Amino acid sequence: MRRGWSREALAFHAEVSWSAIAQIESGRRTNLRPSTLTALSRALEVSIDYLVDGGLSRPTMLKHLAFRYGTDDQFQSIVGPYLAEGIARSEATLAVTSAANIELLRKYLGKNARGVEFVDASTWYSTPVAALNAYKAFADAKLRAGAHWVRLVGQPAWTERSDDQVRLWTRYESLLNLVFSASPLTAVCAYDERSVAPEIVAQAHLTHPHTVGDAGTSRSPEYADPGRFSLEP
């Protein structure tokens, strides 16, 4: 930090909230108001051009991950800590999954489970448009209310879908990368290998830039550009 100030000191001198400073430093907030830029430049005694061109972190926004699992323990051991981290960071946290998985997550989180909004996936994923609008409404409402980041778990229902419906939901997964590209949001999409067809699980690597599992997070080498993917047959 220029001048050796802490976030609290900069927030005091610039008369900007501490949470705003944290969002700017982490790259989670990039479209700054002119008044905010002016306040920061005066406090730090630098030009606005310096702040815009090199003084602020570049953004790291949407992170969209696929998670393949084969047991309840594996689901709980990966998604539980992921949600716990969001709670610890005071992020707006939502888990849309099966009723059984919700119970697993509540058991893992204990009293901290109240920091997560849980929704049964059977009521959420009626159509791709409805699901997309619901996620967008949640994210927009939380960010407007002051949340600095949104953390999601999603698990669409793939069973008993026709081939045409599967293709539509696959395009939905890809389009999420466009709709939320500039949003401060992390989303983990879970695929239960015990019930989801192998070809659907394999396609997750095409629609998610990253994967997460027991070995950690990694890039998906098969990831396809969502603009092109959604238009291909």
Angle (CA) 173 97 179, round 5°: 30
Name the band, by pLDDT with cuts 50, 70 and 90, for residue 60: very low
Domains annotated for the chain, with CATH where assigned, are 2-55 (1.10.260.40), 63-229 (3.40.50.300)
pLDDT digits (tens, 9 = 90+) for 150-192: 999 999 989 889 999 999 999 999 999 989 988 899 999 999 9
Of all helices (H) and strands (E), which one includes residue 210? strand 210-213
pLDDT digits (tens, 9 = 90+) for 191-219: 999 999 999 999 999 999 999 999 999 99
Q: What is the CA radius of gyration of the chain?
A: 20
**In this structure, are residues 64 and 53 in contact, taking their beta carbons and an 8 Å threshold?**
no
Residue 68 contacts by C-beta under 8 Å, 6 or more apart in sequence?
A: 191, 193, 201, 204, 211, 213
